[in-house]
Amino acid sequence: MAAVKKTSTRSTLSAGILAYRKGVRGLEVLLVHPGGPFWRKKDDGAWSIPKGEIDANDPPENVARREFVEELGSSALIGPLQALGEVRQRGGKRVIAFAGEGHFDPAALISNTFDIEWPPRSGRRQSFPEVDRAEWFDIELARTKMLSAQAELLDRLLAIAVESARE
């Protein structure tokens, strides 16, 4: 009898936005910290751009804009987007990223939620925010806070900023 191969229903492709602003510390980027019990005590290397899974027929920019609002709340504003390309995270997930000038007060964070069994094997389901914190970071601090595979997006954003300054 042939073995049945398990396939994951989770998408291996996401789209997200690296929001930026010109702040008192120079160029700053907005990162989010994942909610839920697994991430509660993790900080350096745990933050991410707001992103979400792409369904088969969704254009990546539309998904990125939708997830930006779902993870931050309706007060999160983002301007025109520029493509930053794709990065591959350690677990194999590919992230198509965009950059845009954003306006958001982290104190106004209202994230959507997800349910999981917690504690594990307890039979109890609990609801957690998808994002429990959002914060503006200068580029160098963002490098230490964000997932290592996404740090490349900072270099791509800086290249765009340098090019724009020359024009």
Which pLDDT tens digit goes with each residue over 57-116?
899 999 999 999 999 999 999 999 999 999 999 989 999 999 999 999 999 999 999 999
Q: What is the pTM of this model?
A: 0.89
Span 137-161, pLDDT tens digits: 999 999 999 999 999 999 999 998 8
Residue 5: pLDDT band by 50, 70, 90 thresholds?
A: very low
Span 19-36, pLDDT tens digits: 999 988 789 999 999 999
Q: What is the 3-state secondary structure (H, E, C) of 113-135?
A: EEEEECCCCCCCEEEEECEEEEE
- Tell me whether residue 61 is exposed, middle or buried, using C-beta atoms within 10 angstroms of its C-beta: 0 to 12, 13 to 18, 19 or more: middle
Q: Is the pLDDT of residue 166 over 70?
A: no
CA separation for the pair 105, 62 (Å, rounded): 22
The token pair at 61 is 């920019």
